Chain A
């Protein structure tokens, strides 16, 4: 039982990432009708926002201390981050330590801005073009964004640790009444899961309880009518895109400690996120979220040693297999609307 629980927990962090990315994808597809292959790149940019903030905060002056020498015999160089110089050593170190959560604040405006630019500059010209063209141009954009990041940050993953307070693991099992050390789980991953739930609920609440959200939901159900009602749908589309970009971005920011950001993480997550959207049902927000978590957990179970003994390598392909089976058996996905794309 504890093993099962452990696997479920293991699947939650990736599952949360899938759910968040799929959420953004579905928002964009459901409201704007655009297939956005660059969404994974937005996730990646979010992660690199965290990296950037950490780098920025760590910018140091280099002073030479003649009294100490380093191992080569030269006067030692002491790096003092500006932040520490301005706020004092303790506060400064704390700020640097908390750069990942701080990056959430830092990244939201950036991601929204990027989303706005993307939508106004590129996406809106493709609303009436066939899906194939949308896929292609956003695919090109994803490559461009990826290469820009690669040129700026290099090809190697850049470790971006979580704040010290959350770095370790804790004995989760004890909380639930299991034996000690039965279920040990890293703090940060639980935080990521909780964080993703918060974001998801906020998005749902926004859609449910605000007028703007209501219009968006109406647009998702019937875009033509909404347009005919004289509602300026353009502005809302832009804002929607910005929100979706921000969701992907913060998902990336918080994911940075879990898996060191590297330039192709966007593409890696993109394929799986599309698979998640299709399994959940294209156009269904709850479906996307649910499918994200389920597939994350499924992947985790498939990598259990017991299962790998029977079916080696199953963890690599289980998600794709599931998607293929579902697309064949129940093409509208878990929660898609009946009749959509059942051709």
Chain B
């Protein structure tokens, strides 16, 4: 069905179901319970998971499949956002023109940058993309200010032309009248589930994006990309020109990034230069690797995990920590020392953990990333597979478990 074989079709259906039930899955704890703060079922977070999932899926095509590490994809994210906001100012608050232009502009931009950067490979390529990313950021921040509104960022205003919108058009971002920000809350058994239009729009697009990446993985084109990663020299000597393949992968991943940027603006009509900083590009690298580069589901898992953890960790502040550790004795930790003689053991423990929570999230992320790159380069997917390997004596590898989808070549693409 839809050009997929049976196993892949099962996989796709499971992905669709998981996406549809995200509001349930991310909200396992009842309201008001002690664990409620670990809930993640907010429209904002769910939208971000879907959007960054799209970003990561596209990035994975260039990095995981083709083996080219680009730090510059944040530039396409930014271009997507700016394009979408311009459409919302000029044409309509309907998100469709914005998203379409986002993909076109980012595709063109990717074509230009890719054409130049791909003339080199390896670390030269990575540094070139880094240079382009910073350059784009600087351009957006201070040079092309009529287009980007520099530091303040591009925003919509009530008196924007919006020539396609009629008198009664919604002032909010919408899809043919369906407001993105509209949510329906459902209270049942003490849980509160939020169903948000914006999230479902992003989710549908994410599923389509996932489907496309699935087709690419299984196609001859995908196989060629893996050949580029495996042995680019052999590829040339086999009569294939790697350049158009890598350029195609670059443009495709750029368009995914542009789509993600457009959706970000569609949910929240604002575009700022900081979205183009190379460190944002670094974040998508982290997501893809954390989830599992070169696998189908890895990037999405990575995006979801990081956005979720970012949300949770940032909300844990000192008070929360004190609450958790209140069972520890109040005895002083260290007497006689000039600065900390009043600190109790509880205070010391709280201090330690607070390094990693709240504003310490970036530190936690950096450490996590280092650990993954060093010990588990296959990311969550590889981790999951190893755990499954412990349970099953002889891993059959039959696709019962959609997350892991093993094949007889366990190393690269799934």
Contact bitstring A131-171, B, C-beta under 8 A = 1, else 0: 11101110111111011101100000000000000000000
Closest chain B CB from A287 CB (angstroms): 15
Complex: A51 Cα to B135 Cα, angstroms: 31
Question: For the complex, is B90 an interface residue (Cβ under 8 Å from A)?
Answer: no
Partner of B131, one of A139, A320, A343: A320
From residue 352 to 377 of chain B, which have CB atoms closer than 8 A to chain A? 355, 359-360, 362-363, 365-367, 369-370, 373-374, 377
- Count contacts on A: residues with CB < 8 A to the other chain: 39
Complex: A122 Cα to B135 Cα, angstroms: 31
Task: Specify the chain B residue showing the minimal Cβ separation from A125.
Answer: B374
| Cross-chain contact B363 with A313 (CB below 8 angstroms) | no
**CB contact under 8 A between A143 and B131, given known A313-B139, A316-B139, A331-B120:** no
Question: For the complex, is B278 an interface residue (Cβ under 8 Å from A)?
Answer: yes
| Cross-chain contact A141 with B128 (CB below 8 angstroms) | no
From residue 304 to 330 of chain A, which have CB atoms closer than 8 A to chain B? 312-313, 316-317, 320-321, 323-324, 327-328
Complex: A85 Cα to B126 Cα, angstroms: 54
Please indicate which of the listed interface residues B120, B130, B285 has the most CB atoms of chain A within 10 Å of its own CB. Answer: B130
Partner of B116, one of A144, A147, A317, A328: A328
Partner of A140, one of B122, B135, B369: B369
Question: For the complex, is B127 an interface residue (Cβ under 8 Å from A)?
Answer: yes
| Cross-chain contact B285 with A271 (CB below 8 angstroms) | no
**A-chain residues with CB within 8 Å of residue B374 when the two chains form the complex:** 122, 125, 137
Question: For the complex, is A256 an interface residue (Cβ under 8 Å from B)?
Answer: no
Question: For the complex, is A278 an interface residue (Cβ under 8 Å from B)?
Answer: yes
Task: Specify the chain A residue showing the minimal Cβ separation from B126.
Answer: A135
| Cross-chain contact B122 with A324 (CB below 8 angstroms) | no
Mostly, the A contact residues are: helix
Complex: A343 Cα to B285 Cα, angstroms: 25
Interface size class of B (residues with CB under 8 A): 35 or more
Question: For the complex, is B142 an interface residue (Cβ under 8 Å from A)?
Answer: yes
Complex: A143 Cα to B120 Cα, angstroms: 27
**B-chain residues with CB within 8 Å of residue A143 when the two chains form the complex:** 282, 362-363, 365-366, 369
Question: For the complex, is B132 an interface residue (Cβ under 8 Å from A)?
Answer: yes
Question: For the complex, is B320 an interface residue (Cβ under 8 Å from A)?
Answer: no
Closest chain B CB from A83 CB (angstroms): 17
| Cross-chain contact B138 with A316 (CB below 8 angstroms) | yes
Task: Specify the chain B residue showing the minimal Cβ separation from A312.
Answer: B143
Question: For the complex, is B311 an interface residue (Cβ under 8 Å from A)?
Answer: no
Please indicate which of the listed interface residues A139, A140, A146, A323 has the most CB atoms of chain B within 10 Å of its own CB. Answer: A140
**B-chain residues with CB within 8 Å of residue A148 when the two chains form the complex:** 363
Question: For the complex, is A250 an interface residue (Cβ under 8 Å from B)?
Answer: no
| Cross-chain contact B366 with A140 (CB below 8 angstroms) | yes
Question: For the complex, is A341 an interface residue (Cβ under 8 Å from B)?
Answer: yes
| Cross-chain contact A341 with B124 (CB below 8 angstroms) | yes
Question: For the complex, is B69 an interface residue (Cβ under 8 Å from A)?
Answer: yes
Contact bitstring B99-135, A, C-beta under 8 A = 1, else 0: 0000000000000000010011111101110111011
Question: For the complex, is B289 an interface residue (Cβ under 8 Å from A)?
Answer: yes
Closest chain A CB from B281 CB (angstroms): 11
Closest chain B CB from A163 CB (angstroms): 29
Question: For the complex, is B279 an interface residue (Cβ under 8 Å from A)?
Answer: yes
The chain A residues found within 8 Å of chain B, CB to CB, are: 35, 122, 125, 131-133, 135-137, 139-144, 146-148, 150-151, 267, 271, 274-275, 278, 282, 312-313, 316-317, 320-321, 323-324, 327-328, 331, 341, 343
6 A–B contacts from the bound complex (CB under 8 Å):
A131-B123, A133-B373, A139-B285, A140-B370, A143-B363, A341-B120
Additional A-B contacts beyond A135-B69, A313-B144 (4; CB < 8 A): A137-B373, A141-B370, A267-B279, A331-B124
